[in-house]
Chain A
Amino acid sequence: MTKPPAFDEMTLPDGSVRSVYDNVDKWLREAATDRLDLKRREADTIFRRLGITFSVYTEGGDPERLIPFDIIPRVFGADEWARLSAGCVQRVQGINAFIRDIYHDQEILRAGVVPSEQVLKNDQFRPEMRGIDVPRDIYAHIVGIDMVRTGENEFYVLEDNARTPSGVAYMLENREVMMRLFPELFAGQRIAPVDTYATELLRTLSSVAPSGASNPTIAVLTPGIFNSAYFEHAFLAEGMGVELVEGQDLFVDDKKVYMRTPAGPKRVDVLYRRIDDSFLDPQAFRPDSVLGVPGLMSAYRAGNINVANAVGTGISDDKSIYTYMPEIIRFYLGEEPILNNVPTFSCRNDEDCKYVLAHLDELVVKEVHGSGGYGMLIGPTATQDQREEFAKRIKATPHVYIAQPTLALSTCPTFVDSGVAPRHVDLRPFVLSGDQVRMVPGGLTRVALPEGSLVVNSSQGGGTKDTWVLEG
């Protein structure tokens, strides 16, 4: 596959180092490889001892695995971050306005900006939410925005995670481990701290408690110890100093939610739930769910408890809604989007369809509701026959296909077996929405460790990096 040359975030094509990486570059030049290797192994030990593992419950093997951690940080300058974070905040404001609207007056559908059937017939649309008012009109309290970079000033949003985004514990622990391993790096420059995240999260959740709850009780709802992100659930509950509860710890009485404690029932005001909508309440959704709380939705509708994220936020991170995000931002905020969407061609539009058919050798074509690579064409690597075959399918049912250009993901220096080498990265910063919109300066950087790989998922050889924002 011929890839366009990728933008390296440290070293420019002429060999010069981008100024935000000056210190990292100097450090890498001075550090001996075996010392780095020693530190890398030390990092693994710390992660394992702290129990920062990602549980994979399949047959055989150690279920508690480590996600590889790369010891070379990724660096953003203050200006870069200011623009990125402004773009994230704008996007989340748009998302919240959109969700509120579609569960109330549906103005955006009536204006024809987003086609009605894309929303109303979507699996992620929850008719149960129609007409329910939530505190401060905030639905997506915690959003993780997946972004990639392709150049000095080019950032693209790949996906908005507005349901139960995970990974923030890695952002925090990566920083913690880096500060233990390389205190001298932190002494040399001003790196914005991220460890206020739990406090900011607690503030956010407290600010959206149902009215009348002064000094609200907050709890984190987890599916349980066998969930792959359980460590993060426990980590955040501990960081906020609140209880980590499972469905069996809660019950609903007279449309109020209580925790079972040895001192008797204790009222809960806000649930930070890390369980999908469909498992939340067996009376309202999947009747076979034992993870949820029977009657929770009745308490929610009565306004006696708030749930973060709200029920029904999945509609905003659906693949088919994603393409409308720039329009959504313009519609509700009257602003131009700061962050780009990956240009997406919907073959349902004649003009887009023509373009796609003419440029099949440059594009990735996907089915709107497809997943796992089935029904997908990667144009640049496909044969002429495959492209012709696909062209026929697009012409037959154009509305089920979208197409996107193949992006040249930026690279960052990464410590691999052969030494320091560039590897492709993405970024997931976290946006908190409550009485105000809050972001800690940083995020989760995922790195594709195999050479040339663009896949950053931890299940396929992806690792993580500490993400630095330099203070201006």
Chain B
Amino acid sequence: MLSRTADNLYWMGRYIERSENNARILDVAHRMSLLPSLTGEHRTEWQSAITISGGETHFAEHYGTPNETNAVYYMTLDRDNSSSIYSCLRAARENCRAIRHAVPTEVWEAVNTTWFEIRDMTQNRLLSRGAQQFYDWVKERSSLFRGVTVGTMLQDDSFHFARLGTFLERGDNTARILDVKFHVLLPMGEQIGGALDYYQWTALLRSVSALRNYRHVFGSEVVPSRVAQLLILMEAMPRSLHHCQAEIVTHLDALGVAYGQRHECHRMAGEAHAKLRFGKIEHIFDVGLHEYLTDYIERNANLGVQIAKDFLLTREPVIAEPASQGQTPGMQTQTMGGMSQTQSG
């Protein structure tokens, strides 16, 4: 396999996952905005949605103060936002198109069909169909992608790269949601037990499909430290940091065996995994949840950079090309842009 192919597989996985994460972030913001607010307005929900997605600065420059309309547009259909659902699905499709011959038809068709549907989506259609419905559709398409990936791809190095992209992106996203939401919710911790508070925490759990799991493990009382424990340390929880890190280690190990060599990224992933595996939630709160999560997000980003160094194509700047045979410049650079966006957030 070529490094470029590995790169395309990895970014395809990341972008599909990122589109789903956007839908989840918006979904929870939407649910929270339906609640009576203490201040009578819901700016914080939409502000935090933008913050989680890492687009704060870019958004402020183009839209100013977030409200439901501009925040939803920015994170779903805005073509100028390289992390909008539209841009993610487009980037996923371009990455997949470049390696069509290297993935099963089902994977290509899942990604390609998704792209054609979002390509024709307008804000009016999105709203008339119902934003929630749209988020469900994005999650479904992402689930379909995961399904055909696991169900049809040869589980060789190409599979490992696609899965690495998925879990690096997901770990990053769960950490961001937790960080921002705890920041918003914890000051209200003094009123724990109120109906509003309860709804806020359940909405957070819902956003990562963890509400049922939480009740199953901890019962119906929602306690912030247990929410953190579930989403950080519990390996069995598919969107927890521990789970994501364990998957990353598994796939990196498999690559190490396939290629007969281990790299710096193996050490970094193992170290992060050990911290989660042997971590205690009390210690995390002692350090400070925000500090802990910020540290995780940074290490996760560094791991992404290291994986790119160890396995993927080191891209050189793409210069304008001669017209007669050329490719469109710019298409190849977007993947790195996507990552730096994540890092800057």
B-binding residues in A (CB < 8 A) = 51, 57, 223-227, 234-235, 237-238, 243-246, 248-249, 259-264, 275-276, 279, 286, 288-291
Contact indicator A57/B328 (Cβ below 8 Å): yes
Contact indicator A263/B322 (Cβ below 8 Å): no
Residues in chain B near residue A237, CB distance under 8 A: 101
Contact indicator B319/A259 (Cβ below 8 Å): no
In which size bucket is the chain B interface? 20 to 34
- Taking a contact as CB atoms closer than 8 A, the residue among B3, B258, B318, B322 that contacts A260 in the complex is B3
Contact indicator A262/B157 (Cβ below 8 Å): yes
The 22 listed contacts between A and B (C-beta, < 8 Å) are A223-B327, A226-B326, A226-B327, A226-B331, A234-B101, A237-B101, A243-B1, A245-B2, A246-B4, A248-B315, A248-B316, A248-B332, A249-B4, A260-B2, A262-B3, A262-B6, A262-B255, A262-B311, A263-B259, A263-B260, A288-B319, A291-B325
B98 at the interface (CB under 8 A from A): yes
Q: What's the minimum C-beta distance from B29 to chain A, rounded to whole angstroms?
A: 37
- Taking a contact as CB atoms closer than 8 A, the residue among B4, B100, B260, B316 that contacts A234 in the complex is B100
Nearest neighbor of B260 in chain A, beta-carbon distance: A263
Apart from the given pairs A226-B328, A291-B322, 9 other A-B contacts in the complex at a CB distance below 8 Å? A238-B101, A243-B1, A243-B2, A263-B260, A264-B259, A286-B322, A289-B322, A290-B318, A291-B326
Q: How far is B271's CA from A307's CA once the two chains are assembled, in angstroms?
A: 46
Contact indicator A261/B1 (Cβ below 8 Å): yes
Residues in chain B near residue A234, CB distance under 8 A: 100-101
Q: How far is B331's CA from A225's CA once the two chains are assembled, in angstroms?
A: 10
Contact indicator A223/B325 (Cβ below 8 Å): yes
Contact indicator A260/B321 (Cβ below 8 Å): no
Contact indicator A291/B321 (Cβ below 8 Å): yes
Nearest neighbor of A266 in chain B, beta-carbon distance: B2
Contact indicator B259/A227 (Cβ below 8 Å): no
Contact indicator B3/A249 (Cβ below 8 Å): yes
Residues in chain A near residue B261, CB distance under 8 A: 263-264
Residues in chain B near residue A248, CB distance under 8 A: 4, 313, 315-316, 332
- Taking a contact as CB atoms closer than 8 A, the residue among B2, B97, B325 that contacts A276 in the complex is B325
Residues in chain A near residue B131, CB distance under 8 A: none
Q: What's the minimum C-beta distance from A106 to chain B, rounded to whole angstroms?
A: 30
Residues in chain B near residue A288, CB distance under 8 A: 319, 321-322
Tell me whether A262 and B328 are in contact in the complex, defined as CB-CB below 8 angstroms, given that A234-B101, A290-B319 are known contacts. Answer: no
Nearest neighbor of A275 in chain B, beta-carbon distance: B325
Residues in chain B near residue A227, CB distance under 8 A: 325, 327
Residues in chain A near residue B325, CB distance under 8 A: 223, 227, 275-276, 279, 291
Residues of B230-278 at the interface with A, using a CB-CB cut-off of 8 Å, are 255, 258-261
B312 at the interface (CB under 8 A from A): yes
Nearest neighbor of A262 in chain B, beta-carbon distance: B311
Residues in chain B near residue A261, CB distance under 8 A: 1-3, 6
Residues in chain A near residue B258, CB distance under 8 A: 263
Contact indicator B100/A51 (Cβ below 8 Å): yes
Residues in chain A near residue B322, CB distance under 8 A: 279, 286, 288-289, 291
Contact indicator B255/A290 (Cβ below 8 Å): no
Nearest neighbor of A223 in chain B, beta-carbon distance: B325
Residues in chain A near residue B3, CB distance under 8 A: 249, 260-262
Residues of B284-334 at the interface with A, using a CB-CB cut-off of 8 Å, are 311-313, 315-316, 318-319, 321-322, 324-328, 331-332
